[in-house]
Structure 1
Amino acid sequence: MGDNKIRWGIVSTARIGVEKVIPGIQRSKTGVAHAIASRGKERAEQAARDLGIEKAYGSYEELLADPDIDAIYNPLPNHLHVPITKQAVEAGKHVLCEKPIALNAGEAAQLLDLPKDRLVAENFMVRAHPQWIKAREIVRSGALGELKAIQAFFSYFNDDPANIRNKPDIGGGALMDIGCYTMLAGRYFFEAEPERVVSLIDRDPAFGVDRITSALLDFGQGRQLNFTVSTQLTPYQRFNLVGTKKRLEIVIPVNAPQGEAVQIRLDDGSILGDGSMQSQIIAPCDQYAEMVDVFGRAITGEAPLPYGAADAVQNMKILDAIFASADTGGWVSVG
């Protein structure tokens, strides 16, 4: 590592990388954006100039072969997550890969066979945001009573046929793109695994991807998560954690604005219509920078990696079960 910082290579000039993750790397305490690659050299060079990145490559293979790079950020379309991640690890790099980490659990399981001296993690940046961390602290404190129900809604509108999210063969659709976050909320806040799921999916007749997906996840002991996600509804996101004493509302649970304060809300329901709601302000942060530092500290050995390849495989098992339930029309156990 150069100057005690992890040198990152970014595979592709994908929007999420250029607009969110690369700025996060540059704001992080542990990392530096060292190189970027694209299938077109000119595109990589332009991105490098715009973002102040030292090196630009015209192929992913060239970037992976660079001995100065310690870690790779992989924001490629979903069907390329596992293949490029495998290549990167085999080239001696640690990998932070965009979610979802694979097209299915079977494909994701290939990551478990990679050399263990290189770390692989799924880029669920929300788990590094102080609002999720604070919300879980409140749940653990017992302030909500017993957390029994989580309700999550997440939607946006995208009917562009050229957009990768509208292409089923490469992992498009609402569940893969944003349902993974709502599913994750159950695992994170219940600190448990769902036993079974049941779901309902509406697919776009032209694209073939799921445009509205709703699911109910049974976490046992009376605990349940229900969510709806959509790629063709009004943009909206809100998570509610409902306990026997209070509920906790995360106002912008996923796309929290970088560098801006956000709020979570507590309500004991004593005055209907949110009259008894109290807000807690969460200080400004960059959740992508926070995630980069979580991964960076794991690379340097300062702290263990809280969620690795095995966790990513479990996420895919749950998504697989949700798809299977819609196909069969009934409950499906999570393997």
Structure 2
Amino acid sequence: MLLEVKNLYIDFEGMRGRTEAIKNIHFSLEKGEILGIVGESGSGKSITALSILGLLEENAIISNGEIIYNGRNLLRLQKKERQLLRGREIGMVFQEPMTALHPTMKIGKQLQHVIQRHRNIPAKEAKEAVLQALQEVHIDQPELVAKKYPFELSGGMRQRIVIALAMSAPPHLLIADEPTTALDVTIQYEILNLIQELNRKRGTSVLLITHDLGVVSKICDRTIVMYAGEVVESGPTKEILNRPNHPYTQSLLEALPDSVSPGQPLRAIVGETPSLLQRPNGCAFATRCKYAMDICRNHHPKLAEKEVNHQAACWLEGTVSYD
């Protein structure tokens, strides 16, 4: 086991009081595995990832839980100890590559700085490693690209460089937060293939965060579905896609473009995510769920195993039908 998040609760202090953003999150990640976390914006995916890295905002409070990485509870480490882990053992690919790259520093210099910091090698060797890192993410003419600034490159090229930076140590765990957002379909496919290739070649475990079940279907071994700061379903990706056990997962699948005929309007999930300032007593999805019963509105369901290694937090018996 490389990573295990246990009973994680995260609150945020604000002008309107304390908000429970993450509630009782529990999941694990095996060595060499690709795990997807999927859900709408505001479901708590990125907050969960940032808590692993120790990069939460100052007003965030981890009120309960453990984050066990390679046998160590990250929440008990000193600030400097966690800083050493970031980049060296845990790499991060952010959603917008321009925020991760220094705008006034050439690509080669940025990569060289990170490589020297994590590998502790001389400058000459680091320069050679820069070109190798660019080649590994399938960048043509690495010598030319190394001399360019971020603004001179396309979005897809910048994302490849961010991946090269994240893998420069190389880390045992790569966290990719919406790595294909704002990229066209062809480039999205190439970036996902690249992440999968690095996973297979180096054995790097990957935590992939996305709002798109179509993305997790391509490369993820297992998938966690989050809603309103909670895990509502988890299991092998193929099982979740073929036999969703939670109505929210079913709704996400129905919202995929492939689920409707050409020319037909896309299906949207009716309603809005409940305010985290006033969490409902029952299931958070009950106000948007076509299967909702009285028990759903009044009693909170716990994550339970419906099938082997396949869990869902739903009062419905068995598997929810999927049309």
TM-score of the superposition, structure 1-length normalised? 0.33
TM-score of the superposition, structure 2-length normalised? 0.34
Which of the two has greater strand per residue?
1
